Every structure is written in structure tokens, then in C-alpha cells.
Amino acid sequence: MLANKTALVTGSTSGIGLGIAKALARQGANIVLNGFGDADGPQAEIAALGVKVTYHGADMSKPAEIEAMMAFAAKTFGQVDILVNNAGIQHVARIEDFPVERWDAIIAINLTSAFHASRLALPAMQKANWGRIINVASVHGLVGSAEKSAYVAAKHGIVGLTKVTALENATTGVTCNAICPGWVLTPLVQKQVDAKAAALGISNEDAKKQLLGEKEPSMQFTTPDELGQLAVFFCSSAANNVRGVAWNMDGGWAAQ
């Protein structure tokens, strides 16, 4: 379905980003990966799906590096047809104790980077009259949780940015939508599970149940592959008129 299209997925060397990148690759899209840590393994996984893949290590908190990444993607594959703004970090603390530098970093990476990547991708999408911008928000783009002020603010901002991007391109073939996951068992969340298990002296499985039980009625994690399949839907012709939605895959979290 996506043969001859190019998808750039930020924060895609693991977790949700890699899951989305693999789902798009299975539909034939060439992939530009981005993120910290090991890049060779994820590139090999994508290449095994029979598409072209490359990597750019832009620090998503730095606009100049984002510009370099977008230029690199365009030079390598012609243009970015599908942009997935997924890069994100987290820090947990009460507002009065929240380190200012952590607030600034979370807003820069989780919100501002999506603005920069989008503004750079849109002209080519508009010229082609086809494009997909998919912003990975969070259920925290729809509801709040204590001690996550920067993350919640950034993800609410992503949902707002999604709506504006969709409206500004509403009469074109360019769409913008947001995915809002609940708990996803990524390496980041597994660390939270491990910490809870250690702190309470319980098993890893019991820690997972407790984590899910606090927020997610389905009592099951959403998977990166499921999120990837939603991204594929947003790229399909069936979603040509799906514009500006914040689509939660959260096991009923926001329904409560």
C-alpha cells in the first residue's frame, strides 16, 4: 500500500516508534529511523522487511539537528511522505519540585520537535497533495496524572497541534492525526514495572497488574504493533477524511 512512499519516524530505535516503523515498512514504505542507542539492530529489522532504510541521529531538542535530519531524508529518498512525531522523554515529580531543566527538555523533545519536523515536512506534502503527519501523543493528551506536569502539558499540546495542522490542510490531501496510547510495555515502562516490584517486594507480574489496575480497565498493555496498525490505517485511503482526531488506544482509561 505504501510502496514508493517514505516514512520518517522520530524516536524509532525501540518501543512504540520502532513498532510503527516496522508496520509502515511491511506496507512497503522506505524508512528513516531516528533515536538514541543502538541503530544497527533496528535498521537490520527494517531491512529484513524488504524496504530501504536509513538512520539519522538528530537530537530532537535541537532545531538545527531536526533541520539537518529532514534535509538528509529528502536528499536520500526525495521527500518525506509520512512523518511520525514520536520522540519523547519522561520525568516524574510534583510541580514545586520539578527541575526546570527537565521541564524544558520534555517540552522541547515531546512537543516543540513535532512543530519543527512538521513545518519542514509540510511544503513537500502540500506540493504533492498527499501526506500523513501522525503525532504520537498519549492518553495524557486527554487526561492528567499527578506528578507528570511537563509530560501532560506537552501531550495536550501535541493534541492541539494535531488539530491545527489538520485544519490548515483540511482541503488538501494532507492529513494529521494523533495516537493516544495508554500503558505500552516499552523498555521505559518496564523500568517502572521493575521499580514498583522492587519497592513493594512483589513479583514482576504482580507489579504489572498493579500498574494496569490503577488506570487501565482492560488490564492489558497496548502493543507497539497495534499502534503501528493504527498508523497504517491513518495512511490508508479509508482514512482520507480522518482529520484532527486524537485516537486513544488505552484499554478504556479515558472512558472512566
pLDDT at position 186 is 87
Rounded-to-integer distance, Cα 156 and Cα 149, Å: 11
pLDDT at position 188 is 77
Q: In 3-state terms, what secondary structure has residue 36?
A: coil
pLDDT at position 216 is 95
Active site residue ranges = 151
DSSP bridge partners of 42: none
Report phi then psi at 212, rounded to 5.
-65, -40
Q: Please, what are the averages of pLDDT over each run of 10 residues along the chain (256 residues)? A: 97 96 98 96 98 98 98 97 96 96 98 98 98 98 97 98 98 98 89 92 95 95 97 98 98 96
pLDDT at position 187 is 79
Rounded-to-integer distance, Cα 111 and Cα 88, Å: 8
CA distances from 195 to 37, 157, 208 (A): 22, 29, 11
Do 198 and 239 meet the contact criterion of CB atoms below 8 Å apart?
no
Lateral strand order in the sheet of 53-56: 53-56, 30-34, 6-9, 82-85, 131-136, 174-181, 246-249
Residue whose C-alpha cell reads 493504527 in the numeric block: 230
